[in-house]
Structure 1
Amino acid sequence: MKGAIIYFSGTGNTLNVVNLVVKEFGEKNIECDKIDISKDNTVSKDYDFYVFASVIHVYVFPEIFTNWLKKNAPIVDNKRCIVLSVQAAYIGYGGRQVTKMLSSKGYDVMVVRSIPMPNNYYFNSFFKETPEQRKKEMKEEAILEVRNIVNKFLKDEGYIEKQSYIITTISKAVYPIALRHFNKWARKKLTVDYTRCTKCKKCEKECPTNNIIFQENIKFKDKCISCLRCVHKCPVNAFLYNNKHFNQM
């Protein structure tokens, strides 16, 4: 028995959850391959089961993830799967939309769950950084939740999370508007502290939408999705928002 975990992670929260899933299946002698949609465009239809996981933007799965699934998720014959969202709260998300899409491709969706992880979007007064104690609690809770998910899945038990239809519907309508704002967010809001920048080009290489061009200086195009990967993963914390350095995750 072997599974594929297809995922999109911005700053690393989703990847942390994916690694927990790999570990939990591994302890039951079940191997899983990790497939990062920002790097891979193909996945075999020969796996025994699938796990789909992504960060949440505006309470729904981001377009970069859903578009990849539409185009690249293989058509299968009644293969069981898990759908996971990773977010800073339990509020409704786009699992209904993804479940419908995957079902049309032949997947038997057994599990749909959201897993809260520390907030990474805290660059202004409206969004707050998760307190350190709560960060520790969330990580411990994620371990237990993943263990529960895997156990129920292997017992062939359904584990479908109730989703707020109203919040999900509103979020799906708001998301395209927010995305237009996100596209220009980096170009309008970020600057670079070149006294710190070592020109390692990690931000350019790891940007999931190829929004960063590194020539003499860093330039942003209008394809940002505000995932904050560049900000939180810069080795020297060189990016500035309102002329201030971030408290990186």
Structure 2
Amino acid sequence: MKGAAIYFSGTGNTKYVVELLVKEFQEKNIQCEMIDILKEKGVSKEYDFYVLASAIHVEVFPDIFVRWIKENLPSVDNKRCIIVSTQASYIGYGGRQINKLLSNKGYDVMITRSIPMPNNYYLSKFFKETPKDRKKEMKEEAVLEVKNIVDKFLKDEGYIEKQSALLTAVSKAAYKVSLKHFHKWPKKSLKVDYNRCTKCKRCVNECPTNNITFGDEIEFSNKCISCFRCVQKCPANAFLYKNKHFNQM
């Protein structure tokens, strides 16, 4: 068999889990290729199985991931599929959100799982950084969960995580409202410490929505999705929120 692991990752949690999945398949002599939706515009329909993985934003998969699936994932004839989400929350899950979409494209969704990972979004008293010890535990738990996913998949066993239609609908509505805030918050709330900034332009080059430009200074547009890649991956930790530097994850 040969599979494709298609993913969207903001600061690296989802990429870490996908790497674990690929490694687990490879250890069982099954090829599985990683496909980053920010780098690839499409995917072949000749794979034997597909993994779809993304971070959760406001309890659902972000539009950037769902839109890629709609526009770039080919229709197939009953190909098996795994859906994985990574999230700091234990409440929401985006699997139900795309199950019907995948079914209409000819995919047999066998497994849907959410894997808790360290929180990368901490801006207020409601969103706290994950404690160091817990971060280590979550990474170890992710390894075990991935082994379980691959084992059940290869045994052709269903492993579906349930979510109510009501919770999905509420979460999707909340996400749409939140997006309006996400689009504008960097322009309103982020500043740059130019004594630290090296003008490497990593934030510009890695922003998934091309929301950042750099002339004499960094400027933000209104396309942010709050993935936090810019602030968490800045090699100089030059971004400021409420005049403080981030404790980068």
* Contact 1:123/1:246 (8 A) holds in 2: no
1:211 aligned onto 2:233:
no
The count of aligned residue pairs is: 249
Q: Is the 8 A contact 1:93 1:167 kept in 2?
A: no
What is residue 88 of structure 1 aligned with on the other side? 88
1:117 and 1:164 map into 2 onto residues whose CA distance is: 22
Partner of 2:141: 141
**Structure 1 gap segments, 5+ residues each:** none
Q: Distance in 2 between matches of 1:81 and 1:205?
A: 31
Asked if structure 1 preserves the Cα contact closer than 8 Å seen for 2:97 and 2:168, the reply is no
Residue pair 2:193, 2:238 contacting (<8 A) in 1 also: yes
Normalised TM-score (structure 2): 0.98
Secondary structure in structure 1 of the residue aligned to 2:3 = strand
Equivalent position SS for 2:45? coil
Residue in structure 2 matched with residue 124 of structure 1 by the alignment = 124
Task: Name the structure 1 match of 2:195.
Answer: 195
Q: Which residue of 2 aligns with 1:113?
A: 113
> Structure 1: which 4+ aligned runs deviate by more than 3 Å?
none
CA distance in 2, matches of 1:70, 1:194: 40
The answer to whether residue 170 in structure 2 is matched with residue 155 in structure 1 is: no
State the Cα RMSD in Å: 0.8
SS in 1 for 2:197: coil
Matched position secondary structure for 1:121 = coil
Q: Does 1:46 align with 2:46?
A: yes
- Residues 193, 240 of structure 1: 8 Å contact kept: yes
Distance 2:127 2:73 in 1: 34
Secondary structure at 1:42 match in 2: coil
Letter in 2 for 1:198: T
Q: Within 2, Cα distance between the matches of 1:31 and 1:124?
A: 42
Deviation of 1:39 after TM superposition, in Å, equals 1.5
| Equivalent residue number for residue 4 of structure 2 | 4
Q: Give, in whole Å, the separation in 1 of the partners of 2:64 and 2:180.
A: 14
Q: Which runs of 5+ in 2 are unaligned?
A: none
* Aligned-partner Cα distance in 2 for 1:67–1:48: 23
2:36 matched to which residue of 1?
36
- The 8 Å contact of residues 55 and 61 in structure 2, kept in 1 or not, is answered as yes
Q: In structure 2, what is the Cα distance between the partners aligned to 1:132 and 1:64?
A: 30
